[in-house]
Amino acid sequence: TKWVYGFGGGSAEGRSDMRELLGGKGANLAEMSNLGLPVPPGFTITTEVCTAFYENDRNYPADLNDDVEAALKAVENLVGRQFGDAANPLLVSVRSGARASMPGMMDTVLNLGLNDDTVEGLAAVSGDRRFAYDSYRRFIQMYGDVVLGVDHYNFEEILEIHKEDKGYVLDTEMSADDWQAIVEGFKAKVAEELGRPFPQDPREQLWGAIGAVFGSWMNARANTYRRLHNIPASWGTAVNVQAMVFGNMGDDCATGVCFSRNPSTGENRFYGEYLINAQGEDVVAGIRTPAPLTKIEREESGSDLLSMEEAMPAVFAELVAVRDKLESHYRDMQDMEFTVEANHLYMLQTRSGKRTAKAALRIAVEMCQDGVINREDALKRVDPAQLDQLLHPTLDPDAEKQVIGMGLPASPGAASGQLVFSAETAEDWAHNKGRKVVLVRIETSPEDIAGMHAAEGILTARGGMTSHAAVVARGMGKPCVCGAGAIKIDYRGGTMNAGGVMLKEGDVITIDGGTGEVMLGEVATLKPDLSGDFSQLMEWADDVRRLKVRTNAETPEDAETARGFGAEGIGLCRTEHMFFDPARIISMREMILAETEAGRRSALAKLLPYQRQDFIDLFRIMNGLPVTIRLLDPPLHEFLPHGDNEIAEVAKAADVSESIVRRRLLDLAEANPMLGHRGCRLGISYPEIYEMQARAIFEAAIEVSKDGGDPVIPEIMIPLVVGKKELEILKAAIIKVAGEVETEQSAKLTYLVGTMIELPRAALRAGDIAEEAEFFSFGTNDLTQTTFGLSRDDASRFLDTYIAKDIFAGDPFVSLDQEGVGELIGLAAERGRATRSDIKLGICGEHGGDPASIAFCEQQGLDYVSCSPYRVPIARLAAAQAAL
C-alpha cells in the first residue's frame, strides 16, 4: 500500500478527486501544486493509515516510517534544507485534514523541527534572531498544548508575567533576548508539568505530532462534531506535513484568509482578512483583529487598518490572479488560506467555502447565469436544509430597538433569547428547561459546539469573520455576531457590560447576524423576502422535480404560509386540532360524555357548522388544489377536562353531575392510548362522528364550488386501519353521506376516500386495502413507532446511546429508516399498485420534509410528499435534487 503522497514543485502525486484518501486539505494542496500555484512542498499521510492505526491497536503500518522518510527527503530536496540540520533547518507544519472539513478538530502545529540548535541556524539564515526565537516559542506553545497536553494558559501566563516585569504592553516590544528567555521559561514549564524535557529530536517531534493528529480523530470534540454532522468514524483523517513559510519575518510578510466571493452575501467580490507580520493561527484564532483585504472593504467597514491591496499591491495582484484561477478551476466559491513571506505569496489551503444560505443561492444562480455551471449543478450546489435560514424572520426595521453593542455580521438572521455565558448552560437551559438562549462568549472554541447548537444565536466579543464562532455558526445556520469588542464579558461575575448597560445571565437580548447589532430585550421580527435568487432557484427546481410537494396544515395561517412557500395542496389536515378551540371543546366534551347515540348526535350537530367553516376556509385558500382531510384520530379522552374546575365546567355545560363526568373519565382512560381506542376504531364504534365530519367536508366543498374557479376535490382519509374491512364499512358510510348532501343541495360531488398506512399490518395488507382505498398516505411517524415498537416521546432516553453505539444510524423520527420502515413502504406501494394501478401515493410524516427521506420517496415513485409549511421550499429543492 502507498501510505504517503508527496506534493510541491509544480506537481503532486495526488489530485483533488482523491479526498477520501488524502482528506480535503491534502487533496487540494496536491491539486494546487498540479495547477502550478505556489504551494510549499510537503506530503500527505493517507486516511488509510488512520484506519489501519485504529484497527491495529494504535500501531502504524510497518513500512510507514520508510515512506515518510522518503517523502521528507523529497521535500528537503525541493526546499534545499535538511530536517534537523543545525545550520539551515527545514521546518514543517503538521496539519490534520479529514475528508469533510471539521473546523478545529486538531490544531495545526507550526515551526516543527526547531530545537536549541536549529533555532540558532534559523537565526543565522534569516539574519533575524528575534524572529527565530519568536517562532521557537510559538512552536513550544503549540506543540506543548496540542501534542503534550500542557494547557496554553500555562504559557500565556509566563508571557504575561515577563511583559509585566519589563513594562511592555505589546508583543512587538519583545526583543530577541526576551523571546529567548520566554523559550527557556516554556521549556521549564513543560519539564515541570511532564516530568521530562521538551523533545529536542526533530523526528521525535514529528512522530509526536503525527500521533496527535491521528489520536485527535477519536477525541470527544471530534466525536461530537461527527455526530452532529453525521460523519462516520470510519472515514479517518489524513495528516499533512508541509514545509514552513513565514508570515512573521517582518513587515513584508503577512498571513490571511480569503474567499473568492463574499461568503455572507454571495456578492461576486473578492473578500478576506489578513494580518501583517503574523503567523497563520493568529487570524483564525481571533487573537489580533485582522485588516480587510481590499480597499473597498476597508472603506466600507471604516477600518483604520491598511488593506492588503494598499499595503502590498504587487502580492495582492498575484493573489487576485490565484483567486480567479482557483474559482474557475473548481467552478465554485473558494475559501483560501495564504501566507506572504518576504513579498512572496504562498497558498496553504483552498476548499469550497462555507456560505450562508443567502450566499449559496446567489452564487449558484449567478454562476449559472454566467454559464460557469449548468442548472443541474446550480440546483445541487444549494443544501436544501440550509434554506431554512432564509425562511426565518429578520428584524422588523420599524421595531423599536435599543442597540447596546455592535460586532461583525457573521451569520445572518435575527435571534432573541436569554443570555448565557457558557456552552454547558446553553445546552442545559435549552434542552432541559426549554428556554431560548443566546450564547455569549469572549470567543468560542470547538468545545462549545454542542452549546452553539442549542442556542438561538451566538455573540462573541473577539474574532473576525473567519473566527471559529463565525465559521461554525454559518455552517449551522445560526445567527451570529462576532468581534463585538466594546462588550466586556465577565465570566466569573456572570455579567456583561454593553455600552454601559450591565446585563446578567438570564437577561434577554436580540442579535442581528445580518447587521452585527446587539440589542436589549426582544425585538420584533419580520417575515423573510423570498423573491430574487430564491424564487429563481425554486423555479428551476420546480422544472425538474417529479414529486409534488404538499403541506401539513389545518389552520388558515399555516395553509397560507405554505402556499406562499409553494405548497401544491394539503397532504394532511388533522381535524382534531379544530376541536380544541375553546368555543368548541365544550360541545366536543358534551359529545364524548353523552351516553346515547342521540346525545352524541345532538352535540355533533353543534360542531358541524364550525367544522364546515374550517373546511370552507381551507378550500378557499387552497383554491382547487388537493386537500387531504384526516378524520378524527386521537383517543377521546384527550379532549376531556383536566382538574376540578374544568370538570365542573363540563358538567354544567352537559347538564350532568360532576360524578358522571368523573366516571366517564375513568371509563375512557387507557393504559396505552397510542395503541388504544383511536383512529378508525372510534369511527367504527361511533359512526356518527365521521358522518358529521364527512358532511362538513361535503357541504364546504359545495359551498366553495359556488365561488367558481377550480372544483374542490376533497380527499377523505381514514386513520389507523389494519385491513380492508374497516375501510369498507367507513367508506360506505361516507358515500351515503355524500349521496344525501348531493340530493339536499342538488349538486354533484367529486372526492376520494383513502387511508393512512401507519401500521405494519396495513402495509402488509395493502393489496386488499387498495380495493377500497383510492389513495394511501404513509403516516411515517406512527409507522416508525409501530414498526420499531418505540414511542417517540420516550425514545430520547436511549436514542443517543443507540446512535453512539452505532445501533441506529440516526434518529428514525427525523430521517426515515429506509431499511425497515422503508421496506414496508415499498412493499405497500407495490401491493397497492398491483390492485389499483392509479392509486395515489404520498407521505405525510415529519419525514416529508427531510431531504434523505424525500430522495427515498422519489426512488419509490410516490406521487407527493407533505411536510410542515416552513419545510415546503426545502422539500421542493430536495425533490428536484432527488430527480437529477
**How far are the Cα atoms of 515, 615, 627 from residue 570, in angstroms, in the given order?**
37, 12, 5
Asked if 329 is an active-site residue, the reply is: no
Query: In the range 310-339, which residues lie near Mg ion by CB under 5 A?
Result: 337
The residues in 335-394 that bind Mg ion, with binding defined as CB under 5 A, are 337, 349
Closer Cβ to ligand ADP, 220 or 583, answer by number? 220
Residue 416 interacts with which of Mg ion, ligand ADP, none, CB < 5 to 8 Å by class: none
- Closest to 882 measured CA to CA, from 871, 864, 868: 864
Under 8 Å between Cβ of 874 and 849: yes
Shortest Cβ distance from residue 446 to Mg ion (Å)? 9
We find the least distance from the C-beta atom of residue 474 to ligand ADP, in angstroms, to be 15
Nearest distance in Å: CB 96, ligand ADP: 7
570 contact, one of ligand ADP, Mg ion, none, CB 5-8 Å limit per kind: none
243 vs 734 by CB, closer to ligand ADP: 243
Cβ count near 534 (within 10 Å): 21
- From the CB of 342, what's the least distance to ligand ADP, in Å? 13
Q: Show the site string, 69-108: x = touches Mg ion by CB under 5 A, - = not.
A: -----------------------------------x--x-
Q: Residue 181: helix, strand or coil by DSSP? A: helix
What are the backbone angles phi and psi of residue 712, rounded to the nearest 5°? Answer: -85, 125
Task: Tell the residue number behind the cell numbers 449548468, with chain if given.
Answer: 374
**Whose Cβ is closer to ligand ADP: residue 278's or residue 857's?**
278
We find the least distance from the C-beta atom of residue 337 to Mg ion, in angstroms, to be 5
User: What whole-number distance in Å separates Cα of residue 392 and Cα of residue 439?
Assistant: 19
Identify which of residues 105 and 843 has a Cβ nearer to Mg ion in the complex: 105
- Residue 422 near residue 451 (C-beta atoms within 8 A): yes
Q: Where are the beta strands (DSSP E) in 463-523?
A: 480-482, 487-490, 495-498, 501-504, 508-512, 517-520
For ligand ADP, which is the closer residue by CB, 216 or 255?
255
One of 368, 480, 482, 844 is an active-site residue; which one?
A: 844
Q: State the minimum distance, in angstroms, from the CB of residue 222 to Mg ion.
A: 12
Nearer to ligand ADP (CB atom), residue 278 or residue 854: 278
DSSP label at residue 214: H
Instruction: Give the separation between CA 40 and CA 241, rounded to whole angstroms.
Output: 10
Quote the least distance from Cβ 495 to Mg ion, whole Å. Answer: 31
Three-state secondary-structure class, residue 678:
coil
Distance CA 543, CA 535 (A): 12
Which does residue 95 bind out of ligand ADP, Mg ion, none, counting CB within 5 to 8 angstroms by kind?
ligand ADP
Write down the catalytic residue from 50, 258, 368, 468.
468
Residue 882: CB minimum distance to Mg ion, A: 33
Cell digits of residue 834: 398491483
844 is an active site residue: yes
* Residue 210 and residue 305 in contact, taking contact as beta carbons nearer than 8 Å: no
Q: Report the alpha-carbon distance of residue 132 to residue 249 in Å, rounded.
A: 9
| Closest separation in Å from C-beta 106 to ligand ADP | 8
Sign (positive or negative) of CA dihedral 484, 489, 495, 500: negative
Q: Which region, left, alpha or beta, applies to residue 160 given φ > 0 means left and ψ of -120 to 50 means alpha? A: alpha
- 786 vs 757, 794, 862, 875, CA distance in Å? 11, 13, 21, 25
Nearest by Cα to 136 from 193, 183, 203, 87 = 183
Q: Contact, 42 vs 244, CB < 8 A?
A: no
Work out the angle at residue 403's Cα, subtended by the Cα atoms of residues 398 and 406, and round it to the nearest 5 degrees. Answer: 120
Backbone angles phi, psi at 805, to 5 degrees: -85, 5
User: Which of ligand ADP, Mg ion, none sits in contact with 110, Cβ below 5 to 8 A by type?
Assistant: ligand ADP
Least spacing, CB of residue 364 vs Mg ion, in Å: 24
CB neighbours (10 Å) of residue 94? 28
244 binds, among Mg ion, ligand ADP, none (CB under 5 to 8 A by kind): ligand ADP
What cell was used for 781? Answer: 411517524
Identify what 593 binds: ligand ADP, Mg ion, none; CB under 5 to 8 Å per kind: none
> Between 687-705 and 597-622, two packed helices, what is the crossing angle to 10 degrees?
30
**DSSP letter assigned to residue 198:** P
- Which amino acid is residue 292, in one-letter code? P
Are 844 and 571 a contacting pair, CB within 8 Å?
Answer: yes
- Angle of helix 47-55 relative to helix 202-216, nearest 10 degrees, comes to 80
Output 125 or 188, the one with its CB closest to ligand ADP: 125
Decide if residue 554 touches Mg ion (CB under 5 A).
Answer: no
Report the alpha-carbon distance of residue 457 to residue 435 in Å, rounded. Answer: 13
103 vs 739, beta carbon nearer ligand ADP:
103
Chain residue whose CB lies nearest ligand ADP: 280
Contact (CB, 8 A) for 662 and 712: no
Q: Which amino acid is at 763?
A: A
Interacting residues toward ligand ADP by CB under 6 A: 40, 93, 95, 104, 108, 110, 242-245, 255, 280-281, 284, 337, 339, 348-349
- β-bridge mates for residue 496, sequence order: 489, 503
Residue 366 CA to residue 361 CA, distance in Å, equals 8
Nearer to ligand ADP, 339 or 552 (CB): 339
Taking the least distance from each CB to Mg ion, the nearer of 349 and 356 is 349
Give min distance, CB of 80 to ligand ADP, in A: 16
Residues found near Mg ion in the complex (CB under 5 A): 104, 107, 337, 349
Write out the catalytic residue numbers.
468, 844
